A and B are shown apart, each in its own frame.
Chain A
Amino acid sequence: MPMLQPLRAALRGLPASRRRRAELLGALPFILLVGLVAVYGAMEPAVLDPAQVGYQLQSGMPLILVACGQTLAILVGGIDLSVGGIVSLSSALLATQASTFPGGPWAAVVCILGVGLIAGGINGILVTFGRLPPFIATLATWSIYSGLALVVLPKDGGTVPAEITDLAVGKSAGLANSIWLLVILVGAWLVFRRTPFATSLFAVGGDEARARLRGVRSYPVKIAAFSATGGFAAAAGLWLSATTTTGLPLAGDALILPSIAAIVIGGTSLMGGAGGIGLTVVGALILLVLRGVVAVLGLTPTFAYIVTSCLLIGMVALRHFARRLEED
C-alpha cells in the first residue's frame, strides 16, 4: 500500500536488527505507560502520592483482575466472555451469603472463589470435551452465570461483612493493600511462567496439535486455564463488592470488553501462545491512567472510550504492519 511507505521507512529506519525492532515494539506498552504516568503526574502531582496511587488501584482492581484472568484463557487460544457473569455472580453471592455463612465470612470468600473456579472449569470442559468454540461456549455461559447472579440478587444491594471491606481498602506496611495485591499478582506470574505447567500452557496456545505430539495433555491444561480465568473473575467480583460494600449483580458485563482491550494493548496475542499477565497489567494500567488523564483534562469520562478505542486500533495495526515488514 503506497500510503504506508513513510511508516514503512520509519519502521525500517529505527533500530538496526530485526530483534531490536521486535524488542522496541514489545516495549511500546511500557514506554506508553511511563509516558502517560509522567504526563498525569506533571498535570496533577497529587496523583503520584502513594495513598492516591493505592486509591486509584483500588478502584481499577476489578478490571486488572478480570484482564489477568482473561489472559490465561487467551494464552491457550481461547477467549472468555463469561467473566462478566462470574464477576456479577461472585459479587451477588458475597453480598447475600457472606454475613450469614456458616463458618464465617472468610469461608464464604473461599467458597465463592471455588464457585468461580468451577464456573471457569465448566467453560473449559465445554471448550475441550464439548468441542465448542470458546467464543460461543462462553457466550452461552455468560448468559447463564449473569442470570444466576440476578437470581441470587435481583438488584443492587445486600451487605458485605466489614472485615472483608477492611482488608480490601486497608493498608499494610504503609502501603495500600491494593498496591500489595498488584505486586503479589505480578510476582506470582513471574514465578509461575518459569514452571513446567506454564510451558505447556504456552505450548497448547501456540500450536495445540504439536503440543499434543510432544506429549502435553492439552485438555487438562486448557480446562485449568479456563478455570483460573473464572477464579480471577470471582476475585474481581469479591473485590468490587468489598470496596463498594454492596452487591452489584449487573456490574460484571461492563468489564468484558475492557478486559480484552487491556490484554491487546498490553501485547498478548489473541491467537494464543504469546504474551502474559505482566503485559496485561501494563495494558490495564494504561487504560486506568488514560481515564485519569482524561478526567484531569476536564473531559467527560466517555472521552476515555474514544481514546481507548483509537489506541486499541492503533496498537494492533502497528503490530500488524511491523509483522508484515518482517515477512517482506
Chain B
Amino acid sequence: MHLDIPRGREVLTAHAPTVASYLLTAILLALALGFAPYLLSGGNLNTQLTFAAFIGLAALGQTLVILAGGIDLSVPWVLAFGAIQLGNFGDLPGGVAIVLIVVLGGLIGMVNGVGVVALGVSPIIMTIAVGGLVQGYLLEFGRGNLYSAVPELANTIVSSSIGPLPLIVVLWGILACATGAVLSKTIIGRRIYAVGTNDRTARLSGINVPSTRVLTYVVSGAMAAFAGVLLAGFLGAAYPTIGEPYLFGSIAAVLLGGAAIEGGRGSYWGTIAGTLTITLLGALTPVLGLHQGELRVVYGLVILVGLYMARGGLLLASRQSR
C-alpha cells in the first residue's frame, strides 16, 4: 500500500467536512463568548472540558467503528458497565480494577465485532443485542451496586490536574492525538478507511477485513468502559442509566465531525470538533433560559445544520477542484 501525499485542492476536498465542523464549533464558541463569557473562564472552562472529555472518549471508538462502516449502539451500556463494575471490583487495587474493566470492555466490543463479521449480524442488531445482554447483566447481577461507591483511584484521577488542566482532559488530549495520528499516519488507520470505503476492494488488496472490523469494536468497547470509570469517579456514583446520554452523544459527535455514516470518510479531529459543539450547546442552553426539552430540540436542529454544512463544504471543495 503506498501512501499518497495529498496536495492543494485535494487537501481542501479531503478536509472540507472537518473544516465545516470546526466552523460550527467556532460559531457556537462566539455565541458563548458573547452571551456568557464566564462559561469559558477558569474553573468553568475546566468543567466544560471535562464534560467534553467524557463525550470525546465515548466517541473515540465510535469514530473508528463508523469509519470502518459499522455502528456501535452498545456504547451506553458498556459505559454503564465500566461505571458499575468499578464498584464490584472494590476489593482490587484501583489501578488493577481499572485496567481489568478496560480489558473487559474491549472483550464486550470483541463480541460485537465477532458477531458482525462471523455471524453475519448487522452492526445495528448485533450491538443492540449485546447492549441488551450487558444491560441484563448489570440489572441482574450488579444489583447491590446500583448506586455504588467509587474506588479511591477513580476519584483521584478525576480530581487531580496537571498544570491548569484536569487530568481527565489531559488523558483525553493524549488519546485524541494518538487516535488522530494512528488514523492518518499508520497502516492500521489506512486499513480502517479502506474497509469502510469498500470492503471488497480492501479484501482484494490483501487487508484482513474481519480483524480490522473487530479491532474497531474492541477499541469502542474499551474506550466506553474507560469513560464509564471516569464518569463514575466524576459523579461519585454509578447507576445503570449513567450511559444513556452517550448513545446519542457519541454518534452525534462523530457525525457533526463530518464523518459519513456509510464509512470511509471522517477523522477523529472532526469528532473533537463535534464533541466541543455538543458540549458548548449543553453549556449554552441553560444560559439562554432553555430547559431539557428545548436542549434536545436544539441538538437535533444543530445536527441537521451540521450535516448540511459538512455536505456543503464537500460540494464546494469538489466544485473548486474541477
Residues of chain A touching chain B, judged by Cβ–Cβ distance below 8 Å, are: 1, 79, 126, 132-133, 135-137, 139-152, 154, 249, 257, 260-261, 264, 270, 300, 302-306, 308-310, 312-313, 316-317, 320-321, 324
Contacts and interface: CB of A to CB of B under 8 A. Distances in A.
A224 B296 CA distance: 26
B22 to A, nearest CB: 20
Contacts of B252: 139, 143
Contacts of B120: 316-317, 320-321, 324
Given A133-B261, A147-B295, A306 B132 contact: yes
Interface stretch (B56-64, B83-91, B229-237, B286-294): B286-294
In this complex, the interface size class of chain B, counting residues with CB under 8 Å from chain A, is 35 or more
Given A1-B118, A309-B128, 7 more contacts: A143-B297, A143-B300, A148-B297, A303-B140, A306-B133, A313-B121, A321-B120
B133 A310 contact: yes
Contacts of B291: 150-151, 154
Contacts of A324: 120
Contacts, number: 136
A147 B140 contact: no
Given A146-B296, A147-B299, A150-B291, A136 B261 contact: yes
Contacts of A149: 293
Contacts of B251: 139
A302 B140 contact: yes
**For the complex, would chain B's binding face be called helix, strand, loop or mixed by DSSP majority?**
helix
A316 B124 CA distance: 12
B136 A316 contact: no
B297 A316 contact: no
A300 B139 contact: yes
B133 A154 contact: no
A280 B121 CA distance: 18
A144 B121 contact: no
A302 B124 contact: no
Between B121, B130, B131, the greatest number of chain A beta carbons within 10 A of the residue's beta carbon is seen for B121
A312 B120 CA distance: 12
A152 to B, nearest CB: 8
B293 A260 contact: no
B296 A306 contact: no
A21 B303 CA distance: 45
A266 B8 CA distance: 52
B300 A133 contact: no
Between B71, B140, B300, B301, the greatest number of chain A beta carbons within 10 A of the residue's beta carbon is seen for B300
B304 interface: yes
B132 A132 contact: no
Interface string B273-292: 00000000000000000011
Given A143-B297, A313-B126, A320 B140 contact: no
B38 interface: no
Given A136-B307, A154-B292, A309-B132, A143 B124 contact: no
